[in-house]
Amino acid sequence: MNILDHIIELQAKYDGKVPIYKQRPTGEEWTRTDVNVKICTNCEKAWEVITWEGGRIQYYLDYPTIGKERKTCPRCKR
């Protein structure tokens, strides 16, 4: 397979939602932390739920906030 065949194959798997470079060879989206991180509307800290650690909440003090989903964190909900 040459490079052109590879590009054509990747474009065939592109579904219009996920950029090709962020897809697995099967066409599925890679799991990214960036998708799971949210910005708290009250404290303005970035946070995410770590599912493989039993649902533990991880907070990030210095995380880019541009384009992230805004949602109140569990700490501020209490």
Q: 31-76, pLDDT tens digit by residue?
A: 566 778 899 999 999 999 987 778 899 998 888 888 889 999 999 9
Of residues 59 and 21, more confidently modeled: 59
Question: Hey, is 70 helix, strand or coil?
Answer: strand
Rounded to whole angstroms, the Cα distance separating 60 from 73 reads 12
Q: List alpha helices for 21-73, DSSP H.
A: 33-36
Rounded to whole angstroms, the Cα distance separating 78 from 7 reads 50
Kindly state the helix (H) or strand (E) to which residue 39 belongs, with its residue range: strand 38-39
Sheet holding 56-60, edge to edge: 56-60, 46-50, 38-39, 69-70
pTM: 0.57
Where do the domains of the chain lie? 1-29, 31-78
